[in-house]
Every structure is written in C-alpha cells, then in structure tokens.
A and B are shown apart, each in its own frame.
Chain A
C-alpha cells in the first residue's frame, strides 16, 4: 500500500523567511509525486515530479524529488502572508489515483 508522510505537521514563519517542507513516501511502483496548495477550499496544483522531471521551479516555489531516498522537498523563498496554507503532497498511482499525505500547515506572519 502506498504511503505518504509529510513533515512538519505545521510551522509558523515570518514574511521573508524560507520554508522547507518534506514529503517521504513508500510506493510499489512509482509514477509521480504531486504538490498541492490548499487554502480555504479546493487544493490547487503546484508541481508534478516524475522520473524524467525531478526538479521544478515556479517563481518563489521549487521542488525536488529524490527517488533513491524516496522523498521530495518543497521550498518557498521570501515567504508572503499569501503563502499561508496547507501544503499537500500526493503520490500518483495507476488509474490516476492520488494518495495524499497528511499535509503541512504553514502560517506566515507579517
């Protein structure tokens, strides 16, 4: 059974700080790892990492995948209050199913 564990559970930072979120996983047949940001309602897609794309960057957000050590990191630099959200990591499996981790709740204080 696929398993996704995220850490830390939550963290509080101040604007301008850098945040590093961790996602470790166990999977029988790796296909992809996805990151989502969930504010009040629906999760919004951030990145998808695969065997052929282990690093992604978009603005202040970046993510890497380590298939050997079975983890991924999501980095947010120069954080803003708008980055406050729950960040979800998910494994993509056969049939397009997603297995989510427990999420990391990030609070960015002004």
Chain B
C-alpha cells in the first residue's frame, strides 16, 4: 500500500515551453501533497504545499507564476513548469500524506527528471 506515482519519469523540453508533471496517490487519499526539487548531490528542497481544493502554499523564493500547482482531486496534484529555462532542469519529487495516517508520514513518488535544452 501507500504508493505514489509520478508521470512522466523523465522529460526533455525546449527552452520557453511548459511541462506538466503529475503526482498520483494510487491507493490512498491525499488531501495534502508536497512538491520538492533536488539538484545533483543536494538534498530535497520543498517548493510548495498542495492542498486539495485550495491554492497551493509556496515556499519563500519559489515563483508561483512559474511553478503552477493544481490539486483538483484527492489523488492527483500537478506541477506545471511554465516557460521553462535551462536553470529549471532538476529532479522534481512529490510526496503525499495519507489523510488517515500519521501526521508526518509522507510517501514519495519516484521523481521526474526535467531537462530543459
């Protein structure tokens, strides 16, 4: 149980285009999902908290107009990187908290590697 999937697992796009990444909780409901990015050999940095049915909460320094987050259902959150630039190339990981589980138990997706050329 407690499986989180991400799609796509990797994507290459051209500078200036937009890319959508999906995060799904497969066997549980997640009122809260989190989006992280991870640069090579660095740790996970929280970008935003995605709450079902409401606006996402962004961490300081993260541009909300560039990283659009939508959490339309209890099992799906999407992150859209708009007008992508090479510096947006990174590993994006989502996590989901089981609404019925322990408060701090989060399940991570396998990540999406974005390369912007």
Contact = CB atoms under 8 A, between A and B. Distances in A.
Nearest to A10: B41
B110 A101 contact: no
A101 B111 CA distance: 18
Interface of B: 4, 32, 34, 41-46, 49, 57, 93, 95, 97, 102-111
Interface string A36-64: 10000111110010000000000000000
A43 B44 contact: yes
Contacts of B42: 102
B46 A99 contact: yes
Interface stretch (A13-21, A70-78, A88-96): A88-96
A42 B4 contact: yes
A96 B46 CA distance: 11
Most buried by B among A43, A95, A100, A101: A43
B97 A96 contact: yes
A96 B106 contact: yes
A88 B43 contact: yes
Given A42-B4, A88-B43, A102-B43, A48 B104 contact: yes
Given A96-B32, A98-B34, A100-B43, A42 B104 contact: no
Given A42-B109, A88-B43, A102-B43, 16 more contacts: A31-B104, A36-B108, A41-B111, A42-B4, A42-B93, A42-B108, A42-B110, A43-B44, A43-B108, A45-B105, A88-B44, A96-B49, A98-B46, A100-B44, A100-B46, A102-B42
Interface in A94-110: 95-103, 105
A32 B103 CA distance: 10
